[in-house]
């Protein structure tokens, strides 16, 4: 499998709620609306998402169900509703922690400590639902429905996903990144990059368990591509600035966009080849590659796992399905896009609701090695 990683273009920032006078204030009384919201029902029992929110992962929290309803019934208010829900979660968690600290040493200390623990647990579920709905919204912007549970797409042992949506899923990436993504798709599904239409509709056999691992690895691939691209753009900008001003520039120390800088220097960018994403990434050492492919937060890591389980199920056996290369390509391209949108969503949410740092690298290492 091609282990090189690539990038995605930046997505517009979502609106944020700051204060009663600042820009981006959410005037939507989401808690009152939530109680009156009508949660949409699932689509038809087949592999056709239709117009409903037929995503494989169903929201478990009131916040997730509320945003699902807003997205269908009041789409223009979705970003404001999401910002308001995040702010409410952050405020509630902060209040619970404050009460726990204030009650320290009192008879109520044990009670408030337990309340804070329960609040943290509930907030984890709610914020993951919000992140998932934000990702779902990004897919809806490019008119790509998420593939529903694969059990709905398998008939007599054959898996078929339609429509393919290749163009839409590729349109979110830069030219440099798309070149690497096509190579990744070719490597993991065993089809050459410039395949014909006939080749795409040819059939192959694949273990469902292996397909799930490929999907997870492709999410991490897309996640890395976004991080690597932003770092590449930043280094190129700093290099161009130094050349224009003819004076040295100090590169930032420590993590930038979730990764520390590699050993490349501004002078290295005088070589035009290093201006290309492919050559830039080829200069990463193994440690940098691993660090950049690892989700920065526990919430993002959990969301990747939950999405994969919801899509493929919990089967541990060696079930084999017959499918077309077109369907395999659809799944891999969706996974790469999911990773791209996850990076953007994680960055936005962390600015409103502080996410937990991800200290568990074992799963990412295993997935990245597929």
Residues 344-357: tens digit of each pLDDT = 999 999 999 999 99
What's the mean per-residue pLDDT of the chain?
A: 78
Chain-centroid distance, C-alpha 4:
19
**Separation between Cα atoms, residue 272 and residue 48, nearest integer Å:** 46
Region 38-42 average pLDDT: 32
Which of these three, 141, 174, 203, is where a domain ends?
141
Q: What is the pLDDT of residue 243?
A: 53
Q: How confident is the model over 165-213, as pLDDT tens digits?
A: 999 999 999 999 999 999 999 999 987 666 666 666 788 899 999 999 9
Asked if 123 and 173 sit in the same domain, the reply is: no
Residue 197: both structure tokens together: 């239409």
Asked if 186 and 123 sit in the same domain, the reply is: no
Asked if 121 and 156 sit in the same domain, the reply is: no
Q: How confident is the model over 264-282, as pLDDT tens digits?
A: 444 444 455 567 888 888 8
252: pLDDT strictly greater than 80? no
Q: What is the pLDDT of residue 300?
A: 96
Contact 321, 368 (CB under 8 A): no
**DSSP state letters, 293-330:** HS-SBHHHHHHHHHHHHHHH-S--S--EEEEEHHHHHH
Asked if 288 and 345 sit in the same domain, the reply is: yes
Residue 206's DSSP bridge partners are 321
226 found inside a domain: yes
110 found inside a domain: yes
Asked if 37 and 134 sit in the same domain, the reply is: yes
Region 147-163 average pLDDT: 89
**DSSP state letters, 25-82:** -----HHHHHHH--PPPP--SSS--TTS---SSPP-SHHHHHHHHHHHH-GGGHHHHH
Q: Give the domain range for residue 99.
A: 30-141
10 Å Cβ neighbour count for 241? 12
SS3 state at 349: helix
Q: What is the pLDDT of residue 367?
A: 46
Which of these three, 107, 141, 175, is where a domain ends?
141
Q: What is the pLDDT of residue 253?
A: 43
Contact 220, 252 (CB under 8 A): no
Q: How many Cα atoms sit within 13 Å of 276 on the Cβ side?
A: 11
SS3 state at 259: strand
15 found inside a domain: no
Q: What is the pLDDT of residue 360?
A: 67
358: pLDDT strictly greater than 70? yes
10 Å Cβ neighbour count for 137? 19
10 Å Cβ neighbour count for 8? 27
33: pLDDT strictly greater than 80? no
Region 5-31 average pLDDT: 39
Q: What is the pLDDT of residue 76?
A: 95
Least confident span in 82-96, 191-205, 304-318: 191-205
12 found inside a domain: no
Asked if 104 and 232 sit in the same domain, the reply is: no
Residue 52 confidence class, pLDDT cut points 50, 70, 90 = low
Q: What is the pLDDT of residue 15?
A: 42
For 302-323, b/e burial (b = at least 16 CB within 10 A) is bbbeebbebbbbeeeeeeebeb
Least confident span in 148-162, 188-202, 277-291, 306-320: 188-202
Least confident span in 41-55, 95-109, 121-135: 41-55
Asked if 232 and 193 sit in the same domain, the reply is: yes
Q: What is the pLDDT of residue 193?
A: 64
Contacts of 18 (CB under 8 A, 6+ apart): 24, 25
Residue 139: both structure tokens together: 């897919």
Q: How confident is the model over 65-79, as pLDDT tens digits?
A: 999 999 999 999 999
3 found inside a domain: no
Alpha-helix residue ranges (DSSP H) falling in 103-207: 109-141, 166-170, 175-189, 197-200
Region 323-328 average pLDDT: 92
**Separation between Cα atoms, residue 61 and residue 34, nearest integer Å:** 12
Asked if 136 and 242 sit in the same domain, the reply is: no
147: pLDDT strictly greater than 90? yes
8 found inside a domain: no
Asked if 87 and 174 sit in the same domain, the reply is: no
Asked if 186 and 239 sit in the same domain, the reply is: yes
163: preceding bond cis by omega (within 30 degrees): yes
17 found inside a domain: no
Asked if 172 and 236 sit in the same domain, the reply is: yes
Chain-centroid distance, C-alpha 329:
18
E strand or H helix at 353 = none
Q: What are phi and psi of 348, to 5 degrees?
A: -70, -50
16 found inside a domain: no
**Separation between Cα atoms, residue 226 and residue 340, nearest integer Å:** 6
**Separation between Cα atoms, residue 191 and residue 206, nearest integer Å:** 13
- pTM for the model stands at 0.77
SS3 state at 169: helix
SS3 state at 164: coil
Asked if 222 and 95 sit in the same domain, the reply is: no
Contact 161, 324 (CB under 8 A): no
Which of these three, 141, 158, 181, is where a domain ends?
141
What total of structural domains would you count in the chain? Answer: 2
């Amino acid at each position: 499998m091609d282990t090189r990683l690539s990038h995605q273009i930046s997505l517009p920032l979502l609106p944020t709620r700051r204060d009663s006078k600042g820009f981006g204030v959410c005037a939507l009384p989401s808690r009152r609306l939530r109680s009156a919201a009508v949660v949409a029902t699932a689509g038809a029992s087949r592999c056709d998402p239709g117009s409903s929110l037929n995503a494989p992962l169903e929201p478990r929290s009131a916040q997730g169900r509320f945003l699902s309803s807003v997205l269908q019934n009041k789409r223009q208010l979705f970003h404001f509703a999401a910002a308001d829900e995040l702010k409410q979660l952050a405020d509630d968690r902060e209040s619970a922690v404050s009460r726990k600290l204030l009650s320290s040493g009192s008879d109520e200390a044990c009670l408030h400590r337990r309340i804070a623990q329960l609040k943290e647990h509930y907030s984890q579920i709610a914020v993951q639902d919000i992140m998932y709905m934000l990702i779902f919204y990004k897919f809806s912007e490019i008119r790509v429905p998420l593939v529903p549970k694969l059990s709905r797409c398998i008939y007599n042992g054959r898996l078929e996903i339609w429509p393919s949506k290749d163009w839409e899923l590729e349109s979110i990436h830069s030219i440099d990144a798309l070149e690497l993504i096509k190579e990744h798709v070719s490597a993991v599904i065993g089809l050459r990059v410039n395949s014909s239409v006939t080749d795409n509709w040819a059939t192959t056999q694949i273990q469902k368990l292996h397909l799930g691992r490929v999907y997870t690895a492709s999410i991490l691939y897309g996640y890395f591509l976004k991080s690597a691209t932003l770092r590449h753009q930043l280094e190129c900008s700093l290099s161009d600035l130094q050349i224009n001003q003819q004076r040295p520039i100090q590169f930032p120390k420590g993590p930038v966009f979730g990764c520390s800088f590699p050993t490349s220097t501004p002078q290295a960018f005088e070589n035009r080849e290093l201006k290309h994403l492919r050559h830039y990434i080829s200069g990463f050492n193994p440690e940098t590659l691993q660090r950049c492919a690892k989700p920065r937060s526990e919430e993002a890591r959990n969301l990747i796992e939950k999405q994969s389980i919801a899509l493929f199920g919990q089967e541990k056996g060696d079930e084999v399905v017959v499918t077309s290369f077109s369907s395999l390509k659809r799944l891999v391209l969706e996974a790469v896009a999911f990773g791209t949108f996850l990076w953007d969503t994680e960055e936005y949410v962390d600015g409103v609701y502080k996410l937990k740092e991800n200290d568990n690298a074992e799963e990412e290492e295993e997935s990245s090695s597929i």
